[in-house]
């Protein structure tokens, strides 16, 4: 890998005020999970600095909301162009700090670009419905207004894209955003936010009488106890968008509900692929390997369970075991690498514990396993071999109901579609799902109300790799939130039903007569 200082210099953040020459009590050092080498030291914000950020963002949002939406869209377009200009360097920074392979790091920045493009079109499509009133000489319609200043809390595994999903849509809708990134990937956050703030500083469309245009995109980097918990509880932030574990989401949801705010929660996934006997096996193999191994199994949409018809389960298991043996593991900047490191030592420990529990609960390790973890113990970084575990027929071990954020794939054998769906839906999470089949009947059953209970359901493609055009999110313990495309913009706005009486009488609804 190239020197981290050179990368930060190319991105223009080597002298950023948040970056410190050395550590201290109020700082955190970001490390590359592939090498353990430090990337930079970041100053942490306090409650006082959070308060100042909220005040600034709330103030400038009052002016930003008055700018016509197409003009807001034009500024977002400029931000997207700036991301295009810096795509390679930002993608490398994602790879360096989050451990994603180079192709995935670039793909994440492409998501930032794509959602900016989507938001530009959206700026001319913030439509409201009109409806016929039951009262004569009345016009009835809906319109949408900006919600305010949004709190956005993101996780390490998508350190840029999830912020972009939220902030680009929120900005187009007339909101400001305060971003609290993961403390594991703070430098990606600094770089991405700097890209947006540079455009806000140099653009000539929005020049408020009061406030700094850069504060449309606010950033706080701090500990949960100092910053995160205060953000979640603050009534000045009408919407909290939070990505993370189910446990974290329950805490956030309870606090936000307690103040009658809105929570947009993107939480855990225990995603499954069903494989029927008539499936195209080449498609299955490619989808499973990417879904289970991509990002070292650290995507919320990673494939964690493979539910296979008993007539083909042995053959498919053998094929996947063979394919896993050919996966190149190592430097994520190497174009030939397909799997980089886990994010930190705690994740390796969690993977080890899950494997041990699976074996204790009667499962059989087909490849990887504890030897695949120990193999990399004496080298820098947090590497492991991806693991395939065969589940005994007719059993659903407790560990398989949990989400382990690591490359573990559990394979189930089933007799028919009904048994497959019972196992598929028999977990608390409900994010992404897929079926591979050439049967129209099986595909349609999977997509019907009798089928997948997840927010995302695919036919003949895997669980991982959603496009920004569709709403992203899940059901059950996944939180019910929806981000990115489709009509997810409505989460960042408030709906208002309006009625105009242009007549000379005052008829009441439902034909009520009052004092006539």
Contact 199, 167 (CB under 8 A): no
Alpha helix (H) ranges present in 65-160? Answer: 69-85, 87-98, 102-122
- Chain segment 41-84, per-residue pLDDT in tens: 999 999 999 999 999 999 999 999 999 999 999 999 999 999 99
Question: Residue 24: what pLDDT?
Answer: 78
Using DSSP's 3-state secondary structure scheme, residue 244 falls into: coil
Regions of the chain where pLDDT drops below 70: 1-2
Spatial contact of 352 and 408, defined as CB atoms under 8 Å apart: no
pLDDT at 1: 39
Sign of the torsion formed by the C-alpha atoms of 310, 314, 320 and 323: negative
In the prediction, which pLDDT does 217 show? 98
Token digits for 337?
Answer: 């690498």
Per the CB < 8 A criterion, the answer to whether 301 and 465 are in contact is yes
Q: Count of alpha carbons within 13 Å of 171, Cβ hemisphere only? A: 36
Answer yes or no: are the C-beta atoms of 228 and 153 closer than 8 Å.
yes
Q: Which CATH number does 4-267+479-496 carry?
A: 3.40.605.10
Which residues lie across from 472 on neighbouring strands? Answer: 483
Q: Would you list the domain boundaries of the chain? A: 4-267+479-496, 271-459
Q: For the CA atoms of 195, 197, 203, 208, what is the dihedral angle to 10 degrees?
A: 170
* Secondary structure string (H, E, C) spanning 370-392: HHHHHCCCCCCCCCCCCEEEECC
Q: Would you give the DSSP letter of residue 139?
A: E
Cα separation, 422 vs 444, in Å, equals 16
Q: Which strand (E) or helix (H) includes residue 304?
A: strand 303-309
**Token duo for residue 369:** 């396993």
What is each CA distance from 189 to 6, 207, 273, 423, in whole angstroms?
18, 25, 33, 38
Does domain 271-459 match CATH 3.40.309.10? yes
3-state DSSP call for residue 242?
strand
Residue 455, C-beta contacts closer than 8 angstroms, at least 6 positions apart:
430, 431, 432, 471, 472, 473, 474, 475, 478, 482
Other beta carbons within 10 angstroms of residue 62's beta carbon come to 15
Q: Residue 372: CA atoms inside 13 Å, Cβ hemisphere, count?
A: 24
Nearest partner of 275 among 424, 453, 470, 375, judged by Cα: 424
Max CA pair span of the chain? 89
**DSSP 8-class letter at 438:** S
Q: What is the phi-psi region of residue 470: left when phi exceeds 0, alpha when psi lies from -120 to 50, beta otherwise?
A: beta
pLDDT of residue 64: 98
What residues contact residue 298 under an 8 Å CB cut-off, 6+ apart?
157, 342, 343, 347, 405, 406
Query: Catalytic residue numbers?
Result: 266, 300
For 435-485, what is each residue's pLDDT tens digit? 999 999 999 999 999 999 999 999 999 999 889 999 999 999 999 999 999
Per the CB < 8 A criterion, the answer to whether 384 and 404 are in contact is no
Say which residues have a Cβ less than 8 Å from residue 186's Cβ, sequence separation at least 6: 18, 28, 30, 42, 221
Q: Is 117 left (phi over 0), alpha (psi -120 to 50) or beta?
A: alpha
Around Cβ 430, how many Cβ atoms within 10 Å?
A: 25
H or E element that contains 472: strand 471-472
Query: Which residue, 279, 312, 327, is CA-closest to 458?
Result: 279
Q: What is the pTM of this model?
A: 0.96
Supply the pLDDT for residue 25.
79
Between strands 475-476 and 429-430, the pairing is antiparallel
**DSSP symbols for 159-173:** TTHHHHHHHHHHHHT
Closest CA to 465 of 185, 273, 180: 273
Give the dihedral sign, CA 256/260/261/264.
positive
Residue closest to 177 by CA, chosen among 264, 301, 111, 87: 264
| Nearest one of 93, 457, 487, 479 to 248, comparing CA atoms | 479
């Amino acid at each position: 890998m190239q020197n981290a200082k050179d990368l930060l210099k190319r991105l223009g953040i080597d002298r950023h005020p948040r970056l410190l020459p050395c550590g201290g009590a109020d700082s955190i050092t970001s490390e590359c999970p592939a090498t353990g080498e430090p990337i930079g030291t970041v100053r942490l914000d306090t409650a006082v600095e959070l308060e100042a950020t909220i005040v600034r963002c709330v103030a400038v949002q009052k002016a930003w909301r008055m700018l016509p939406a197409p003009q807001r869209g034009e500024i977002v377009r400029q931000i997207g162009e700036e991301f295009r200009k810096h795509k390679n360097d930002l993608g490398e920074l994602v790879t360096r700090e989050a451990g994603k392979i180079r192709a995935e790091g670039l793909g994440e920045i492409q998501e930032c670009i794509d959602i900016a493009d989507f938001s530009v079109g959206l700026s001319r499509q913030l439509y409201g419905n009109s409806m016929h009133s039951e009262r004569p000489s009345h016009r009835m319609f809906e319109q949408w207004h900006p919600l305010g200043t949004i709190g956005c809390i993101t996780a390490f595994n998508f350190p840029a894209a999830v912020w972009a999903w939220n902030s680009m849509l929120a900005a187009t809708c007339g909101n400001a955003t305060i971003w609290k990134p993961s403390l594991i990937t703070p430098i990606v956050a600094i770089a991405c936010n700097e890209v947006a703030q540079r455009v806000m500083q140099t653009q000539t469309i929005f020049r408020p009488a009061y406030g700094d245009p850069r504060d449309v995109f606010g950033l706080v980097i701090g500990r949960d106890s100092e910053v995160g918990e205060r953000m979640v509880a603050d009534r000045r932030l009408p919407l909290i968008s939070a990505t993370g574990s189910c446990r974290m989401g329950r805490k956030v949801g309870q606090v936000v509900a307690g103040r009658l705010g809105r929570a947009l929660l993107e939480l855990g996934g225990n995603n499954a692929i069903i494989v029927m006997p008539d499936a195209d096996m080449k498609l299955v193999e490619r989808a499973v390997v990417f879904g289970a191994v991509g990002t070292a199994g650290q995507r919320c949409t990673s494939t964690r369970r493979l539910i296979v018809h008993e007539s083909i389960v042995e053959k498919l298991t053998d094929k996947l075991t063979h394919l896993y043996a050919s996966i190149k593991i190592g430097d994520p900047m190497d174009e030939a690498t397909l799997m980089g490191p886990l994010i930190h030592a705690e994740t390796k420990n969690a993977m080890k514990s899950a494997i041990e529990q699976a074996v204790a609960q009667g499962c059989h390790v087909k490849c990887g396993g504890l030897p695949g973890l120990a193999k990399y113990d004496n080298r820098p970084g947090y590497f492991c071999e991806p693991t395939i575990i065969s589940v005994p027929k007719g059993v659903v071990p407790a560990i398989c109901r949990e989400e382990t954020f690591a490359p573990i794939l559990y394979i189930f054998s089933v007799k028919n579609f009904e048994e497959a769906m019972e196992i598929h839906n028999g977990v608390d999470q409900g994010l992404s799902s897929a079926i591979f089949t050439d049967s129209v009947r099986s595909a349609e059953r999977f997509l019907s109300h009798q089928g997948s209970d997840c927010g995302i359901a695919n036919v003949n493609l895997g669980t991982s790799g959603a496009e920004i055009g569709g709403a992203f999110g899940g059901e059950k313990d996944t939180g019910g939130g929806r981000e990115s495309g489709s009509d997810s913009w409505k989460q960042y706005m408030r709906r208002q039903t309006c009625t105009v009486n242009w007549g000379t009488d005052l008829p009441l609804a439902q034909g009520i007569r009052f004092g006539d």
